[in-house]
Amino acid sequence: MRTNVRVCCAFWLFGLINNVLYVIILSAALDLVGPATPKGLVLLADVLPSFLTKLTAPYYIHVFPYSTRVMALVVLSACGMLIIALSPPSKDATATLIKLLGVGLASVSSGAGELSFLALTHFYGHRSLASWSSGTGGAGLVGAGAYVLATTTLGLTSRTSLIAFSFLPLIMLLSFFVILPTYEVSAEYKAVATGDDDDDTGIDQHDTATTPSSSSLLGESTTESHSKEINSWTQFQANLHRAKGLFFP
Q: Do residues 109 and 73 both lie within one domain?
A: yes
Q: Is the pLDDT of residue 1 over 70?
A: no
Q: Do residues 140 and 219 both lie within one domain?
A: no
pLDDT band at 191 (very low <50, low <70, confident <90, very high): very low
Q: Do residues 46 and 86 both lie within one domain?
A: yes
The number of domains in the chain is: 2
The boundaries of the domain holding residue 105 are 2-189
Residue 6 lies in a domain: yes
Q: Which of 172, 189, 206 is the last residue of a domain?
A: 189
Separation in Å, CA 144 to CA 20, 135, 174, 220: 8, 14, 23, 53
Q: CATH number of the domain that 161 lies in?
A: 1.20.1250.20
The pLDDT > 90 percentage for the chain reads: 51
> Partners of 185 in the beta sheet?
188
Residue 205 lies in a domain: no
Q: Do residues 136 and 220 both lie within one domain?
A: no
The alpha carbon of residue 122 and the mean position of all alpha carbons in its chain are separated, in whole angstroms, by 16
Pairing state of beta strands 184-185 and 188-189?
antiparallel
Residue 203 lies in a domain: no
The alpha carbon of residue 229 and the mean position of all alpha carbons in its chain are separated, in whole angstroms, by 28
pLDDT band at 225 (very low <50, low <70, confident <90, very high): low
Residue 173 lies in a domain: yes
Amino acid 236: pLDDT: 73
The pLDDT tens digits of the residues spanning 72-129 come to 999 999 999 999 989 888 778 888 899 999 999 999 999 999 999 999 999 998 899 9
Q: Do residues 38 and 114 both lie within one domain?
A: yes
> Partners of 184 in the beta sheet?
189
Letter string b/e over residues 24-53, b meaning 16 or more CB atoms within 10 A of that residue's CB:
bbbbbbebbbeeebeeebbeebbbebbeeb
Q: Do residues 110 and 174 both lie within one domain?
A: yes
Residue 169 lies in a domain: yes
Q: Do residues 219 and 161 both lie within one domain?
A: no
Q: Do residues 161 and 242 both lie within one domain?
A: no
